[in-house]
Amino acid sequence: MMDRSEFSSRLAAYMYKLEDVQRVAADGDRLRHDASMHGLLLFKEAQGEISIGGQSRPLRRGKAILLPPGSAVRLSIRPQERLEYYDVRFRALQPAQDGHYVPAQLDCPVECETAYVAFDRIEDMERKRRSGNAWDDMKANILFQELVADLFRDAGRERMADLGQAIQRTLEYMERHYPLYITREKLADMAGVSADYYSKAFKKRLNKSPIEYLTDIRIRQAKRLLAQSGESLRTIAQSVGFSDEFYFSRKFKAEIGCSPKAYAKQIRKPSRG
């Protein structure tokens, strides 16, 4: 997984070619998006949710969302709310050998909440694209390069901050709900990213996988119960989230260095005065 500086540098190294920009106004959930190119949606009026690749996120005025080609996008706009946005289509290129450029695949989706500062620039881009003048078309592409630089730089900062907050939420969830059935996919869904991306980001921050972290919590709670209660191993295992007492015993011994029974016997042994 890239850190913030790597992410920003990668986006800055690409070239961006504006292909089209259109203003869309609608009363419902209709979304115009050409899936053959990268897309940049900038919402001037919107309140509801947007689903990208099956993952939903809040949608509001001023949000900008960068989409990869082939994105499956759906909107859910609140009743009586108006929908107005700009659909910008473009190509991204990355440097290759001998001074050539090849198509680039951006690390999408990327989003930020500062699109409201860009609407004047986008309206100017749209006017220049419609003029039919080659020089105006060139100026529109220059405006687009500036827009990309501003939005992507801001999105890189927000993305890393948001991911850290999302991981923290999953940590708090595991601490509170460790007895429940918890999977990596469930945690990733809570964080709003793919399971692989979540696992890499999690391990980068905590030096262990999400499931290893969850197991540590469960073993810690099991140690507490072994010291304080006389419940059976099966009951203790199930109460901290292990469905199998034998698997629990193996994990406990691997972590602590002795079996749960040996640990309980040792911790309860009265000290000799």
Q: Is the pTM of this model over 0.85?
A: no
* β-pair partners for 73: 52
How sure is the predictor about 248, in pLDDT bands with cuts at 50, 70 and 90? very high
pLDDT over 80 (residue 259): yes
Q: pLDDT-based confidence at 273, cuts 50/70/90?
A: very low
DSSP string, 194-260: -HHHHHHHHHHHHSS-HHHHHHHHHHHHHHHHHHH----HHHHHHHTT-S-HHHHHHHHHHHHSS-H
Helix (H) or strand (E) holding 145: helix 134-177
Domains in the chain, CATH or no CATH each: 4-155 (2.60.120.280), 212-268 (1.10.10.60)
| pLDDT, mean of residues 243-250 | 93
Q: What pLDDT is stored for residue 156 in this prediction?
A: 57
Task: Give 272's DSSP letter.
Answer: P
pLDDT of residue 27: 62
pLDDT score of 107 more than 90: no
What integer pLDDT is reported at residue 1 of this predicted model? 45
Q: Which residues contact 184 (CB under 8 A, 6 or more apart)?
A: 195, 198, 199, 209, 210, 211
Amino acid (1-letter code) at residue 220: R
Q: Mind listing the pLDDT tens digit for each residue in 17-75?
A: 999 999 988 766 666 666 778 999 999 888 888 888 778 888 888 888 888 888 888 88
